Structure 1
């Protein structure tokens, strides 16, 4: 019995660790704003066409981010659509998280 207790404890900890949010949930929730920064980078590369879609997605994810600097650079328009209002501040916030847009 003494030999099996550490194994059971390890198994219990491993199963507890698996109970967190899935990758898809983290991508959708984007609490740190990483997905917002990825879309922002795509929007900077191609400012028209698909880049405009990426900027819209960056604003959408940025509005949900718990990172204050990212969410502060986003506001909603009269229709309730998130828009990046300060590109420089958004870029700085993403670079502070380790993104490099050079």
Structure 2
């Protein structure tokens, strides 16, 4: 079972004020390629997995934004670390 839920909002600075959506789409693709469970929400994406692996994915996301031409990236993250295990379904089941 995963020991962490991490929500991330990535805000790349784009060249000439371009639309950030293609960058955000690519950041979500990095998460998708990881194979971890994730959920895209309007203002952030939540990832379920092992904390170290998720931080590696966040690093990869930031590096990908730079590769795409962003001069810098702000990543706002929220972390729930629970060594006994946690899933998005468990955390939200009473609301579903």
TM-score norm. by structure 2 comes to 0.30
The higher-RCO structure (CA 8 Å, 6+ apart) is: 2
TM-score norm. by structure 1 comes to 0.29
Higher strand proportion (structure 1 or 2): 2
